[in-house]
Amino acid sequence: MGRFRGSSTTVLKPKTTKQVSEILKWCNERRIGVVPQGGNTGLVGGSVPVKDELVLSLSNMNQVREFDPVSGILVADAGCILQTLTDYVAPHNHIMPIDLGAKGSCQIGGNVATNAGGLRLLRYGSLHGTVLGLEVVLPDGTVLDQLTTLRKDNTGYDIKQLFIGAEGTLGVITGVSILTPPAPQASNNVILVLPSFQNVLPLYQTVKRQLSEILSAFEFIDRTAYDLAVKHGQGRALSDEDIEGAECFVLVETSGGKREHDEEKLNTLLENLLEAENPLINTGVLSQNPAQFSSLWALREGVTEAVSKEGKPYKYDISVPLSSFKEVVDNTREHLRSKGLLHDKAVKHVLGYGHVGDGNLHLNIVADSYLPEIQDALEPYIYEVVSSYRGSVSAEHGIGYQKTHALHYSKDEASIALMKKIKNAIFQDENGLPVKFFIQKDIPQEIQ
Ligand code: FAD
Ligand code: 2HG
Ligand code: ZN
């Protein structure tokens, strides 16, 4: 996002876990701040230095360690790029349980560190379920070998879970063991064009009921998000006729075992939707071949890139009730308008998109430039809205540098205190005292 900038002089790119261990031990003894960096695609400023920290890049740790085609268990270095792993397991008829727009650059270690959600969570669940084991280097250089490939292991606390989503604040992930599901025999997708956001919820219920086991994604983009994706060349635009009167769009993907069966189910769904007395959709555009399948996905996956091309993005990745998605986007726009900030030289667009099935809305505000008055208008306004729904101020992107001050909107005091205790238990010096130094340059004040 080009929003955060530090003044580091050093990037280290270790090739082995032993080297990571030596680096962390050396830095820990000298109280040198370290920023673990994966593919640097994170959206909350967690992977970039903000002061003069040492950058520890995992990009040279990029080997697959083992793959068992029978169980589908993959063990890989943390620096392997997600797309590379996807390509690696594909000939064995497996897929990665996680997929996201940044797949060409993000690393599996970064995905695990952020507990990234993405486009397949609806079907395959979160990384808390699919990651079987981790190898982690603790701040003092200790290597924690939890790289098991066991499906079951109830021997005490499940310590690896602590590092999933810890964003590098507790240690550096160097290896990941992950369960890869069998590749679906058939995948289809369709973009449904909706006249009103009100229809999204009943549509989701209908689609779930009718597609049941073959439904693998249900993603939402509003009209502004669609227009920006098209403007910046993400995917192929639908025809003018198809998008006439469209307030928003839903991308539905199916993944199943038999093409004819899945196609029949999807076609029947479309027919039922279009022929209903009060149709929930204006129309549906079904992909007819692999190129169209990718092109429809690009309209959804490409929104982040389109937003960055359009201007300077303010990003809010929130969990709120599905029924409030539109209200949150519209109210934010009106709030900015009431402050006189909705014009070409300030905020150009307010848009919403996201993972309906996960209750996760991406609220993006695109500005001409980053301005303090926009920032002040957005925060704490948005966090208070989220808090009023008992939602989350970071559904899937993490806390990073950007959201540290907002943690208390989603976590109560007791939870923050417990996080602090856990952190202190890991960051002890040889006298048993918690060290006042952290592996990542900026930890929420509340848990320092
Ligand atoms: P980085 O950005 O390098 O790092 C992210 C954080 O993890 C930092 O705090 C860093 O210090 C830490 N870290 C990185 N590697 C390690 C390691 N080996 N050990 C310990 N800590 C580490 N996120 C979603 O959840 N769902 C999405 O659908 C999604 N889509 C995206 C689409 C685009 C186009 C982009 C640009 C981003 C998207 N993201 C999404 C954000 C997401 O968090 C990242 O893309 C990804 O998970 C981060 O991986 P990375 O390797 O780039 O990590
Ligand atoms: C997505 O779902 C990502 O496309 C990115 O999580 C969201 O850029 C964003 O705000
Ligand atoms: Zn997302």
State pLDDT tens for residues 137-187.
999 999 999 999 888 899 999 999 999 999 999 999 999 999 999 999 999
Q: Whose CA is nearest to atom 27 of ligand 1?
A: 118
Point out the ligand nearest to the CA of residue 228.
Answer: 2
Which residues, 6+ apart, have CB-to-CB distance to 266 below 8 Å?
188, 190, 211, 252, 254, 286
Complete DSSP assignment for 271-282: HHHHHSSS-S-S
pLDDT greater than 80 at residue 427:
no
* DSSP H stretches of helix in 132-258: 160-163, 200-211, 223-231, 240-243
Measured from the Cβ of residue 153, the count of other Cβ atoms closer than 10 Å reads: 13
Q: Whose CA is nearest to atom 42 of ligand 1?
A: 42
Q: Which of 41, 44, 100, 226 should be mutated for ligand 2, with most atoms under 8 A from CB?
A: 100
> What mean pLDDT comes out for the span 248-253?
98
Task: Round to whole Å and give the CA distance between 27 and 427.
Answer: 13
**Residue 160, both tokens:** 């690896």
Point out the ligand nearest to the CA of residue 102.
Answer: 1
Task: Round to whole Å and give the CA distance between 337 and 250.
Answer: 27
Q: What is the pLDDT of residue 4?
A: 84
Q: Report which secondary-structure segment, H or E, holds 265.
A: helix 259-275
235 lines ligand 1 (CB under 6 A): no
Global pTM reads 0.95
Q: Which of 103, 253, 362 should be mutated for ligand 2, with most atoms under 8 A from CB?
A: 362
Task: Round to whole Å and give the CA distance between 324 and 336.
Answer: 18
Question: Token match 């060349």: residue?
Answer: 233
Q: For residue 362, which atom of ligand 2 is closest to its CA? A: 10
Query: What is the per-residue pLDDT across 341-356, written as a single tens digit (0 to 9) for each?
Result: 999 899 999 999 999 9
Q: Which of 3, 43, 103, 382 should be mutated for ligand 2, with most atoms under 8 A from CB?
A: 43
Q: What is the predicted ipTM?
A: 0.99
Task: Round to whole Å and give the CA distance between 229 and 237.
Answer: 9
Point out the ligand nearest to the CA of residue 36.
Answer: 1
Q: Report which secondary-structure segment, H or E, holds 250.
A: strand 248-256
Query: In 3D, which of 414, 408, 418, 412 has the Cα closest to residue 444?
Result: 408
Q: Which of 317, 378, 393, 402 should be mutated for ligand 2, with most atoms under 8 A from CB?
A: 317
What is each CA distance from 246 to 148, 189, 199, 277, 310, in whole angstroms?
A: 49, 19, 12, 19, 22
Residues 162 and 115: beta-carbon distance below 8 Å: no
Task: Round to whole Å and give the CA distance between 134 and 115.
Answer: 13
Q: What does the DSSP 8-state code read for residue 394?
A: B
User: φ, ψ for residue 70 (rounded to 5)?
Assistant: -80, -50
> What mean pLDDT comes out for the span 230-238?
95
Q: Whose CA is nearest to atom 13 of ligand 1?
A: 110
Task: Round to whole Å and give the CA distance between 192 and 325.
Answer: 18
56 lines ligand 1 (CB under 6 A): no
Q: Write b or e for each residue in 226-235: b if 16 or more Cβ atoms lie within 10 A of its Cβ, otherwise e.
A: bbbbbeeebb
Query: What is the 42 CA–ligand 2 centroid distance (Å)?
Result: 10
End-to-end distance of the chain based on CA atoms, in angstroms? 26
Q: Report which secondary-structure segment, H or E, holds 132.
A: strand 131-137
Give the amino acid at 127.
Answer: L
Point out the ligand nearest to the CA of residue 107.
Answer: 1
> What mean pLDDT comes out for the span 189-204?
97
Residues with CB under 6 A from ligand 2: 43, 101, 303-304, 315, 317, 362, 364
Task: Round to whole Å and give the CA distance between 201 and 188.
Answer: 22
User: φ, ψ for residue 354 (rounded to 5)?
Assistant: 155, -165
Q: For residue 111, which atom of ligand 1 is closest to its CA? A: 47
Residue 128 confidence class, pLDDT cut points 50, 70, 90: very high
Query: In 3D, which of 235, 155, 221 has the Cα closest to residue 192?
Result: 221
319 lines ligand 1 (CB under 6 A): no
pLDDT greater than 80 at residue 332:
yes
Residue 317 confidence class, pLDDT cut points 50, 70, 90: very high
Task: Round to whole Å and give the CA distance between 375 and 392.
Answer: 19
Kind of pairing, strands 54-57 and 34-37? parallel
Query: What is the per-residue pLDDT across 286-303, written as a single tens digit (0 to 9) for each?
Result: 999 999 999 999 999 999
Query: What is the per-residue pLDDT across 54-85, written as a single tens digit (0 to 9) for each?
Result: 999 999 999 999 999 999 999 999 999 999 99
> What mean pLDDT comes out for the span 75-99?
98
- Using DSSP's 3-state secondary structure scheme, residue 101 falls into coil
Query: What is the per-residue pLDDT across 262-286, written as a single tens digit (0 to 9) for each?
Result: 999 999 999 999 999 999 999 999 9
Query: What is the 252 CA–ligand 1 centroid distance (Å)?
Result: 25
Q: What does the DSSP 8-state code read for residue 106?
A: -
Task: Round to whole Å and give the CA distance between 448 and 137.
Answer: 20
